[in-house]
């Protein structure tokens, strides 16, 4: 019998047969796949023929296919539907997987074969040449050229880093669950929609509190319910819970873990010849240096902070006094209503989840790329909430599967993300997953998205399209396998279709055109706040990862002072505008892949804003534009240097002016 974790499933498109997978299956399958890959590596090294692309790169690239398949399924479970067994196994496997990677990337004989291939006069095509270039970079940055002594130290560091990252994620999720706000009196939920109330009631019921209401926490500092909750005491309690995560001195405190992580990352960077982790990480990106990133972010910070102060003054006029971080989102909505005649909460009936998905998200993809989406209720996801859609080209050719996991639950980590469930080889079809954390209303009630949740769905689907359409011969270059500060470009760009007249009219035809006009006119509203909270987090990330090993604080009590100094240095120390993530719950940089890379969203938005202008100048939502975008942005996956392709397409680099205009910074002369 085939292995449901290691072998490609017989189900359509190779969808994993989740019904056959048990938690007990993960460990033996992953360990077996690791052993198989090391045997394959030994065969490559033992090949008596002179090293070539065919006998070195191709078998190396294919050696980990079964392991990647198993890890994709396991990683998805640990993020989207975990339990105590999976958490424990993740912590056990993390250092073993790090050691496995080191056994390959620090293998001197294998590295020598790669170097020998690079010195050959082989006639490689563009994709083969780029794959070789990427492997040489990965091996170099992993430490393949270090001495045996330094490699031994590096292996110890890598194993510990992987364990700590896993521990941070598990502790943060546990603390977030513990801090969920329990409400006794339904009157305290005044301002929430009926669906939000029923979701809170169901969450409380699941936690053993029938008749009460539970508000689950979300990753960013500003909880979306702060927009509409009318009770200031409830807002204050919710905001306090959000900012307390990971910093309560309990068993789920993340601070000692993250300080050790920071120190080890700095030590690793030093071993590899870099000044700090930021220099190491950003060297393999489109930005290239931390200085380039810092120059851009710091240059925007003063203008964003000034805009936020002007917004704050207006909010305080409406509030009749000082506005705290807990109150800012609420009074921002009051000002939006007063100054722009817009009530975003009143728009929720127009953002019915299924209509947004089919008549908005899918509709735009059909107009741009000719893609068709057919729900497959006969195919099961990894959780009953997961919906499976078959994706095909206009001519019926198969593209892959799209899985949507919309709702929040205690077994799912916070935030929203896209992941891939299948290693992609030439001729294979992709299987991509979008995860969001929308509260699930009671059975029979429609799921009404907020304005921001609707935008998030478009954003994550932009990643999904990248994963579905990014074709390559090799798994390492397929889909979203691109630089971290480029990968957010396609996702952010897909957000533009949310309010595009043609798309909005299709999924919300009843919406008054005058309201749509006001929505578009007010897109820069509250951008001082939005840009400031983002920049504060991005610059905080950069500050932490610019420390050398001896500069990292040794006591958790020093973290708050470091944060305050880092934000003060760039003028973003306004208590009413906290960072999007405080250090103790900054999941992006301590448990996912954004360490020293949280800047990527704004960096990529320069390309996004420029491309939005291109769409507007060239007729908008047309197949011709979609084909051009597919060819020059997402269709080639990671097979070429993306900025070189972008410059060739546009005839120039992307200017920053469209971004400044979008974020209301152009008038500041930034």
Residues with a catalytic annotation lie at 460
Query: What is the DSSP-derived secondary structure letter of residue 634?
Result: I
Q: Which secondary-structure segment (H or E) carries 420?
A: strand 417-420
C-alpha–C-alpha distance, residues 453 and 446, integer Å = 15
Look at residues 347, 645, 345, 614 and name the one whose alpha carbon lies nearest to residue 470: 645
Cβ atoms within 10 Å, residue 309: 15
Residue 560 burial (10 A CB sphere; 0-12, 13-18, 19+): middle
Distance CA 357, CA 361 (A): 5
192 neighbors 230 (Cβ within 8 angstroms): no
**Residue 589 bridge partners (DSSP):** none
Please, what's the largest Cα pairwise distance for the chain? Answer: 81
Which residues fall within 8 angstroms of residue 356, CB to CB, at 6 or more apart?
449, 454, 457, 507
DSSP 535-604: HHHHHHHHHHHT--GGGS-SSGGGHHHHHHHHHHHTT---TTS--SS-GGG-HHHHTSS-TTTTTHHHHH
H-helix segments, 438-480: 451-469
Helix runs in 290-427, H state only: 290-319, 328-340, 353-355, 363-369
User: Which of 543, 531, 550 has its CA nearest to residue 661?
Assistant: 531
Q: Are 587 and 169 in contact (CB under 8 A)?
A: yes
Residues β-bridged to residue 184: none
**Rounded-to-integer distance, Cα 565 and Cα 572, Å:** 10
Other CB atoms within 10 A of residue 374 CB: 10
Which among 365, 404, 602, 650 is positioned nearest to 494, based on CA atoms? 365
Q: Alpha-carbon distance 216 to 665, whole Å?
A: 34
């Amino acid at each position: 019998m085939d292995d449901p974790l290691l072998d490609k499933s017989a189900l359509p498109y190779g969808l994993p047969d989740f019904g056959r997978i048990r938690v007990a299956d993960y460990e033996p399958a992953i360990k077996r796949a690791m052993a198989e890959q090391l045997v394959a590596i030994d065969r490559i090294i033992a090949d008596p023929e002179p090293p070539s692309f065919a006998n070195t790169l191709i078998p190396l690239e294919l050696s980990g296919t079964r392991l990647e398949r198993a890890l994709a399924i396991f990683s998805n479970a640990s993020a989207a539907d975990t339990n105590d067994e999976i958490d424990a196994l993740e912590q056990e496997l993390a250092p073993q997987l790090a050691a496995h990677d080191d056994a390959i990337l620090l293998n001197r004989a294998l590295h020598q074969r790669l170097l020998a291939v690079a010195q050959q006069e082989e006639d490689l095509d563009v994709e083969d040449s780029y794959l070789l270039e990427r492997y040489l970079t990965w091996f170099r940055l992993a430490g393949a050229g270090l001495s045996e002594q330094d490699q031994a130290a590096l292996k110890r560091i890598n194993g510990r880093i992987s364990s700590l990252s896993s521990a941070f994620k598990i502790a943060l999720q546990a603390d977030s669950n513990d801090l969920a706000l329990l409400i006794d009196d339904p009157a305290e939920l005044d301002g929430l929609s009926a669906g939000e109330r029923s979701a809170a009631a169901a969450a409380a019921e699941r936690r053993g509190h029938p008749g009460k209401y539970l508000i689950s926490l979300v990753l960013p500092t500003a909880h979306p319910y702060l927009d509409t909750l009318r009770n200031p005491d409830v807002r204050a309690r919710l905001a306090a819970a959000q900012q307390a995560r990971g910093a309560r001195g309990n068993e789920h405190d993340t601070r000692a873990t993250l300080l050790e992580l920071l120190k080890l990352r700095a030590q690793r960077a030093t071993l590899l010849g870099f000044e700090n982790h930021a220099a190491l990480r950003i060297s393999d990106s489109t930005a290239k240096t931390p200085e380039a990133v810092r120059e851009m972010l710091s240059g925007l910070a003063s203008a964003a902070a000034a805009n936020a102060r002007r917004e704050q003054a207006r909010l305080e006029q409406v509030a009749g006094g000082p506005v705290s971080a807990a109150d800012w989102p609420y009074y921002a909505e009051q000002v939006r209503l007063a100054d722009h005649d817009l009530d975003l909460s009143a728009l929720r009936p127009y953002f019915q989840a299924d209509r947004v998905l089919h008549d908005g998200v899918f509709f735009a993809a059909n107009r741009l790329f000719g893609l068709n989406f057919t729900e497959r209720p006969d195919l099961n996801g990894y959780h009953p909430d997961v919906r499976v859609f078959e994706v095909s080209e206009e001519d019926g050719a198969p593209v892959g599967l799209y899985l949507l996991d919309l709702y929040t639950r205690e077994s799912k980590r916070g935030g929203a993300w896209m992941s891939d469930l299948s290693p992609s080889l030439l001729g294979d079809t992709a299987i991509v997953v979008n995860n969001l954390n929308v509260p699930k209303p009671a059975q029979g009630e429609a799921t009404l998205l907020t304005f921001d949740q609707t935008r998030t769905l478009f954003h994550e689907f932009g990643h999904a399209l990248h994963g579905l359409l990014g074709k390559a011969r090799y798994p390492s270059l397929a889909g979203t396998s691109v630089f971290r500060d480029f990968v957010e470009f396609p996702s952010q760009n897909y957000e533009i279709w949310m309010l595009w007249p043609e798309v909005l009219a299709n999924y919300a035809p009843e919406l008054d055109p005058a309201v749509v006009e006001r929505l578009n006119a007010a897109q820069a509203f509250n951008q001082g706040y939005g840009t400031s909270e983002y920049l504060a987090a991005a610059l905080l990330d950069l500050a932490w990862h610019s420390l050398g090993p001896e500069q990292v604080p040794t006591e958790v009590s020093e973290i708050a002072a470091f944060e305050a100094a880092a934000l003060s240095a760039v003028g973003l120390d306004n208590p009413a505008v906290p960072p999007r993530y405080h250090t103790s719950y900054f999941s992006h940089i301590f448990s996912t892949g954004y360490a020293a890379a949280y800047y990527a969203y704004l960096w990529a938005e320069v390309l996004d804003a420029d491309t939005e202008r291109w769409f507007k100048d060239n007729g908008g939502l047309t197949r011709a534009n979609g084909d051009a975008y597919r060819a020059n942005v997402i269709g080639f996956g990671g097979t070429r240097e993306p900025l070189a392709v972008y410059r060739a397409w546009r005839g120039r680099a992307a200017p920053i002016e469209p971004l400044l205009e979008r974020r209301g910074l152009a008038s500041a002369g930034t």
